[in-house]
Chain A
Amino acid sequence: KNEVEQSPQNLTAQEGEFITINCSYSVGISALHWLQQHPGGGIVSLFMLSSGKKKHGRLIATINIQEKHSSLHITASHPRDSAVYICATLLYNFNKFYFGSGTKLNVKP
Chain B
Amino acid sequence: DSGVTQTPKHLITATGQRVTLRCSPRSGDLSVYWYQQSLDQGLQFLIQYYNGEERAKGNILERFSAQQFPDLHSELNLSSLELGDSALYFCASSKDYNYGYTFGSGTRLTVV
Contacts and interface: CB of A to CB of B under 8 A. Distances in A.
Contacts, number: 52
A94 B56 contact: yes
B96 to A, nearest CB: 10
Interface in B84-112: 88, 90, 92, 97-103, 105-106, 108
A43 B90 contact: yes
Contact of B42 (A41, A45, A101): A101
B44 interface: yes
Contacts of B56: 94-96
Given A45-B92, A97-B45, A90 B105 contact: no
A33 to B, nearest CB: 7
Interface residues of B, number: 23
Contact of B105 (A31, A35, A41): A41
Given A86-B43, A95-B56, A99-B44, 20 more contacts: A31-B97, A31-B98, A35-B103, A41-B106, A42-B103, A43-B90, A43-B92, A44-B103, A45-B100, A45-B101, A45-B102, A48-B100, A48-B101, A50-B98, A94-B97, A95-B57, A95-B58, A98-B45, A99-B45, A102-B42
Interface of A: 30-31, 33, 35, 41-45, 48, 50, 86, 88, 90, 94-99, 101-102
